[in-house]
Amino acid sequence: MFRNVLIADSGKGHVEEMVRMLRDIPAVRAARINLLHVVPEQAGESFADQSQKAATIAAEAVQRLGLNPSEVNTIIRQGDTKQTVLKVADELNSDLIVMGSRGMGRLQSILSNSASQYVFQLSTRPMLLVRDDLYIRHINRVMVAIDGTGVGDDALKLACELVREIPGGSLTGVHVTRQDITPSRGGKSPADEVLEKASQRARSYGVELKAVHLSGDVGRRVCAAAEDLKADLLVIASQDRRPVVARGLVDIDRLLGSSVSDYIRVHAPAPVLLVREPEGRR
């Protein structure tokens, strides 16, 4: 499932609790853990002094996680946090980035230069975002947004692989259409067909999917469903464009426009695992 996990955390929030819960899942337990600490470029002290402090912070994090220090790859870099996280993830070929977030709104995130918002918007790799204002005791109820796309199938597969190894775990798939769809003569609507295919796909992975169809605004309905289900983890897919220019400049129109994934990032009542479409598939 995950072979190479990059944890980019400031030492605050609930990221460590989430990592511990993930490591309770056998398929995740074998993953290589990479712990990244970024020293700001404008740090007043020398890089050597900052690096020593960073090493201490990282060592304390490893201890709190109950990990063997020899099995953790600790990385200390100086630079801009958001750019460094993306760069290191590429260097390591990480298949999961884990970051904490203060749960700020979209405009507030831009104005405060939020690192997690930037990485969430621009990373082409799966990312688990854990907001500081959310506390999850354990991962049991997983919800996945079903959209019938190729990357949506990737998200469903990942959700199934997680739930399959959680004792008593459950998976709910929610498909949202902009408006109610009238069934065809055969009695099935396009939404019914999408959910039926998703259920069949889940069974092929050994998981029973509870399928739910809702109508309305996609982002709002997904978040409301996660609240109603008391989901411990929300898995979503995104096909949002990743313009090359946005590597150096935040994609403002997406952040302030109709990006469903960014709305969910801000408003979801559970940690969000975002699955991106692999670049090679486009």
Q: How far apart are CA 146 and CA 156, in angstroms?
A: 7
The single residue listed with the structure tokens 């002290």 is 45
Question: What is the per-residue DSSP string for 172-230?
Answer: EEEEEESS-----TTS--HHHHHHHHHHHHHHHTT--EEEEEEES-HHHHHHHHHHHHT
Whole-number pLDDT of residue 111: 38
**Distance in angstroms (rounded) separating the CA atoms of residues 46 and 19:** 31
pLDDT at 39: 84
Residue 1 has pLDDT above 90, yes or no: no
How would you label 164-202 residue by residue, b for 16+ Cβ within 10 Å and e otherwise?
Answer: bebeebbbbbbbbbeeeeeeeeeeebebbebbeebbebb
Is the pLDDT at 44 greater than 70, yes or no? no
- The whole-chain average pLDDT of the chain stands at 83
Q: What per-residue confidence (pLDDT) applies to 254? A: 47
Please report which confidence band the pLDDT of residue 10 belongs to, taking 50, 70 and 90 as the band edges: low
Q: Give the model's confidence band at 18: pLDDT under 50 very low, under 70 low, under 90 confident, else very high.
A: confident
Q: How does pLDDT run across 149-180, given as a tens digit for each residue?
A: 999 999 999 999 999 999 999 999 999 998 76
Indicate whether 142 pLDDT > 50.
yes
Helix (H) or strand (E) holding 34: strand 32-39
pLDDT band at 210 (very low <50, low <70, confident <90, very high): very high
Asked if residue 126 lies in contact with residue 1, where contact means CB atoms within 8 angstroms, the answer is no
Contact 146/152 with Cβ under 8 angstroms? yes
